[in-house]
Structure 1
Amino acid sequence: MPTPFWRSPEIRDHISTLDRSGFAVEFLRRNAAYRRDYARLQRRIARRRVDAAAECAAFVHRWGLCFCPCSR
Structure 2
Amino acid sequence: MSVNDVVAEVWCELLEVTSVSEDDDFFSLGGNSLLALSLVDQLEKRLGIEFPLDSFFVDGTFGSLVEGCHAAVS
TM-score, L = length of structure 1: 0.32
Q: Which gives a bigger RCO, structure 1 or 2 (Cα 8 Å, sep 6+)?
A: 2
- Structure number with larger C-alpha Rg: 1
More helix by share: 1
